[in-house]
Amino acid sequence: MHDVSQRCRAEKNYENMLAPSQNKSNSDSRFSSREEKALHRLVRVYNGLRFCAGTKSFSFLFMPQKTLPRGMQSRLMQSAKKVLKNAHAPYSRFRVGATILLSNGKLFSGCNVENASYGMTTCAERTAIFSAVAQLGPKIEIRAVAVVNDHGVPCAPCGACRQVIYEFGPDAVIFFQGAHGPRQAHITELLPEGFRLQ
């Protein structure tokens, strides 16, 4: 495992390289050969975003931070909780609600709709997204997604929903119940190798 101070210095120099200050010399924003080798081993790139490899999982490195309006996360969660009551879940008895925030500020909600032919079941996240597309067309851009369930257990979007979220929101942030409490994750953290045909 590389020395932490060496890694931090390399990361700082990388940030300087991305946005060099006029007051800094070129030498200040360059890697030493040792730092360059350290970053080469630590950093992987998915969809143009850099991730730093930890001992157990990937954590974000140099991820641009986008903030939501004050109180928006709470509003999204409350909206998702409200709509989950409409879920059609007679087979699993597991109700899920989701609300998405679009770049234009509009919210759309959805719940899971099960079917006797289990493969025909639609998740809450996709229901919300498809509702937005039906009303506004395919040029929507998802900024955030909130997902809740009526059992209070860990419940991240499934793989299919992650790919659909990525289709309309490659920079979306997801709020959901994790194994150790509420979690927030960028869609590329949940789906590191999502694809789009655009």
Task: Map tokens 């659909």 to a residue.
Answer: 164
Could you list the beta-strand ranges (E) of the chain: 43-46, 49-53, 58-60, 96-102, 107-111, 142-149, 173-178, 181-186
Q: Identify the active-site residue in 11, 35, 114, 125.
A: 125
Q: Is 189 a catalytic residue?
A: no
Query: How far are the Cα atoms of 37, 60, 109, 131 from residue 189, in angstroms, in the given order?
Result: 24, 8, 23, 25
Q: Distance from CA of residue 150 to its chain's centroid?
A: 22
For 37, the enclosing helix (H) or strand (E) is helix 33-42
Are residues 149 and 94 in contact, defined by beta-carbon separation less than 8 angstroms? Answer: yes
Catalogue the active-site residues. 125
